Amino acid sequence: MALSAPIALTGHQAAVAADSEIRIGNTMPYSGPALAYGVIGKAIAAYFNKINAEGGINGRRINFISYDDGYAPQKTMELTRRLVEEDKVLLTFASLGTAPNLAVRPYLNANKVPQLFVASGSSQWDQPHDFPWTMGFQPSYQAEAHVYAQYLLETHSRGKIAILYQDDDFGKDYVKGLKDGLGGKLPIVAEATYKVTDANVNQQVATLKASGADIFFDVTTPKFAVMAIRRAAELGWHPDHIISTVSESVSAVMQPAGLQNAEGILSAGYYYEGDEAAAAGDSSYREWSAFMDRYLPDIPRSNGLATFGYLAANAMVAVLRNCGDDLSRDNIMKHAASLKGLKLPMLTPGITINTSSHDHAPLEQMQMMQFTGGKWQRFGPVRSGIDPGSVSDSFKTIFRYGTAKRDLANQLNANTVTLMTGSLGSTYANMGADLASVLDKGTELRVLPVIGRGSVQSVADILLLRGVDAGIIRKDTLAFLERKDFASNVHEQLVYVAKLFNEEMHVVAPKSITSLSELDGKTIAVDLPDGGTFVTSINVFERLGIRPHLLYIEPRLALDMLRRGDIDAIIAVEGKPLQWLNQVNDPNLHLVPVEYDKALHDDYLPAQLSAEDYPNLVSAGAPVNTIAAEALLASFNWQPGTDRHRRLSLLVEALFNNLPTLQRPPFHPKWMEVAPLAPIAGWTRFKTAQEWLDRNMPATQVLGANAQAGELPPSGAPTTDARLFREFLEWRVNRQKRAPVRQPQ
């Protein structure tokens, strides 16, 4: 089936639209086991007809060529070649299915043909590094399953789950997402699979019922969803039944399954349903309703697949209009990968589309809904299917294995202490190298610094990696772990030796952005997901109620993107001054102030960035306020009497005894901030460290090595109480930032 008759173009025209038309190719199952999805193609064709009737795109009409592939990957490959090589389409758009699109992805990318807004929720469409010409559209199946996991953990803490899923990448994506989201906190007591060629799923549903599960996660396409809903009702099984969005159509699934059988079923959505009463007053709903009446009168409004096609077509038109007169493949891909805060008609309020050259997942938010009285009813908050912390493999590892016993075997060198630092050239790595130089006593003590990936990775390595004795980590990373329940007993597993130094938060942005709150909804680079910057960024934004779109790329690599306007800001949380930032001399950029909001007091300290730190970005006499995260020397909580405890004690004694040497050149200036006596509220100090301090430093020296003469607060020297110590630091920063009195000219 072709919804438009193909017209041949000459070969050289394939990469650019013709003067009179824009050729868009598509494959869709208008027949076969997935024919219900054919409605999507019909809705897209109808919307493009509407656009053409209104004058097209900058005077060009859209020629939408859609073929029936029967949901057969081999047929998809044949038809896609025909679209590109014979029909000379400019791009492919909204072709349906995971397996069919995977089959053609290498071919389209090799020929640099945009494969846009794939009609499948596979997470594989968001791989811009490997497949820069492919982009998904809907929330990924894994992101959707994360939403269900969030809901179940909040409302079904004692539930038992049974899963029915299609035995292919589609089904496995959902199952992976659910398991990752649950993190083992709810038991999955049974799993059953089916193939698209199966006659029914009767036996699978009966087996799942017999498991005693009271939650049924039903990952099926419409035909099999109807069977599963009916069969569960026939068996008298009434679990909390969750179906995937691909099968939530009222007309295609709920009605054929029997409305009484579908009553109470749960799902999630990201756009208005056609018969949703709450949407009736929305102007975009009225526009959609008029569109359906005129262009798709034979398709029920309750068929959500028609709404999906309408949404995808709207997004495609938005991209084409943004391209102006340059309708080349390169420019179309550029604009498809630079959508920011795009609101489309029929999207659930609060949900927007965001993409970048490093993020090919346009939609990531959803809202739970329940089928009641023959209609879907939304409830609860709009949820993000992407937890920023979930991109970190280290967090995932801690979450699953944080409480496991540690294997103390295979110890190699009796007096060698391994210290996990940070990435090459980082403050952590430089200070680790300083320790190796100063504390080396041959066979009596050797400090072996290891290049790492930052605070998150260091926490994982301290807890899990054989041979790692200690590491430099951030206090807010520990707080984040505890607050997110990645490691519920982290207080028992980790101890700190001393506070080392402060790491300032640097927010680099165009001068048009003057406060952190203005980054709400913007695209921000927050370093790689195993470092500390992305944790601090997540933590700060959550506490301040700011919801940006995060991009995981090293700050120094993101700088060109910021200058081009591809992103809106860069965040780096490291000890000042940063070498790469000191080299920035751009009159359009500056450091955005971060005010010391009350919500940040638990995890951060007040700080400033001065012209002395960054002469190209900060004016003399006008320091920029910011916050600082506290870096700690931490270790696993080895028990006294163990060999690992003994080795770590060697490091502690040597560090404290040689601190004056480390605080002199040529060693890193951050050693001047080390505060051995500074308490870390809620955390236990390593026993040998506390004993050394009790012997060698009276309580009145709590300020540590960075206390300078004349800087004591008016009330006198603070005590070891954490609150008073924090108040002293606030007092000191406020004292330092008092503007000098200007003399009259």
Q: Using the predicted structure, report yes or no on whether residue 726 has a pLDDT greater than 60.
A: no
Lowest-confidence region among 98-107, 265-274, 407-416: 407-416
Q: Which residue in 454, 63, 138, 115 sits closest to 311, CA to CA?
A: 138
- pLDDT (0 to 100) of residue 403: 30
To the nearest whole percent, how much of the chain has pLDDT over 70?
A: 86
Do the domains 393-736 and 11-138+278-355 match in fold? no
Q: Using the predicted structure, report yes or no on whether residue 505 has a pLDDT greater than 50.
A: yes
Read off the pLDDT of residues 615-665 as tens digits, 9 standing for 90 and up: 999 999 899 999 999 899 999 888 898 988 998 999 999 999 898 899 888
- Confidence category of residue 717, pLDDT binned at 50, 70, 90: very low
Taking the C-alpha atoms of residue 731 and residue 155, their distance in angstroms, rounded to an integer, is 45
- Number of C-alpha atoms within 13 angstroms, CB side, residue 613? 22
Helix axes 475-483, 533-544, angle to 10 degrees: 60
- pLDDT (0 to 100) of residue 487: 59
- pLDDT (0 to 100) of residue 718: 34
Read off the pLDDT of residues 61-106 as tens digits, 9 standing for 90 and up: 999 999 999 999 999 999 999 999 999 999 999 999 989 999 999 9
* Residue with the larger pLDDT of the pair 366 and 129: 366
Look up residue 410 and give its amino acid.
N
- pLDDT (0 to 100) of residue 390: 54
Taking the C-alpha atoms of residue 340 and residue 319, their distance in angstroms, rounded to an integer, is 11
- pLDDT (0 to 100) of residue 16: 74
- Per CATH, which fold does 11-138+278-355 belong to? Rossmann fold (3.40.50)
Read off the pLDDT of residues 180-217 as tens digits, 9 standing for 90 and up: 888 888 999 999 999 989 999 999 999 999 999 999 99
Q: Using the predicted structure, report yes or no on whether residue 597 has a pLDDT greater than 70.
A: yes
Q: What region does 490 belong to: left with phi over 0, alpha with psi -120 to 50, or beta?
A: alpha
Where do we find the tokens 């995932």? Answer: 396
- Confidence category of residue 1, pLDDT binned at 50, 70, 90: very low
Residue spans per domain, the chain = 11-138+278-355, 141-269, 393-736
CATH 3.40.190.10 fits 393-736, yes or no: yes
Q: Using the predicted structure, report yes or no on whether residue 519 has a pLDDT greater than 80.
A: yes
Q: Which residues contact 11 (CB under 8 A, 6 or more apart)?
A: 88
- pLDDT (0 to 100) of residue 299: 92
Taking the C-alpha atoms of residue 148 and residue 48, their distance in angstroms, rounded to an integer, is 34
Identify the CATH class of 141-269.
alpha beta
- Confidence category of residue 741, pLDDT binned at 50, 70, 90: very low
- pLDDT (0 to 100) of residue 372: 94
Q: Using the predicted structure, report yes or no on whether residue 553 has a pLDDT greater than 90.
A: no
Q: Using the predicted structure, report yes or no on whether residue 706 has a pLDDT greater than 50.
A: no
- DSSP for 504-570, please give it: EEEEEEETT--SGGGGTT-EEE---TTSSHHHHHHHHHHHHT---EEE-S-HHHHHHHHHHTSSSEE
- pLDDT (0 to 100) of residue 443: 74
Q: Which residues contact 473 (CB under 8 A, 6 or more apart)?
A: 455, 458, 459, 462, 532, 631, 632, 634
Read off the pLDDT of residues 444-503 as tens digits, 9 standing for 90 and up: 888 889 988 777 778 888 888 888 889 998 888 877 777 766 656 776 788 999 989 899
Taking the C-alpha atoms of residue 427 and residue 674, their distance in angstroms, rounded to an integer, is 13
Read off the pLDDT of residues 216-245 as tens digits, 9 standing for 90 and up: 999 999 999 999 999 999 999 999 999 999
Segment 662-674 shows an average pLDDT of 89
- pLDDT (0 to 100) of residue 275: 64
- pLDDT (0 to 100) of residue 36: 87
- pLDDT (0 to 100) of residue 7: 29
Q: How far is CA 530 from the centre of its chain?
A: 12
Segment 109-135 shows an average pLDDT of 94
Q: What is the pTM of this model?
A: 0.60
Read off the pLDDT of residues 272-321 as tens digits, 9 standing for 90 and up: 876 665 566 778 888 999 999 999 999 988 888 899 999 999 999 999 99
For Cα atoms 702, 707, 708, give the angle at the middle one, nearest 5 degrees: 150
Read off the pLDDT of residues 385-407 as tens digits, 9 standing for 90 and up: 876 655 555 555 455 433 322 33
Token pair belonging to 329: 């493949």
Q: Give the distance between the most distant pair of CA atoms in the chain.
A: 92
Task: Report residue 78: phi and psi, to 5°.
Answer: -60, -45
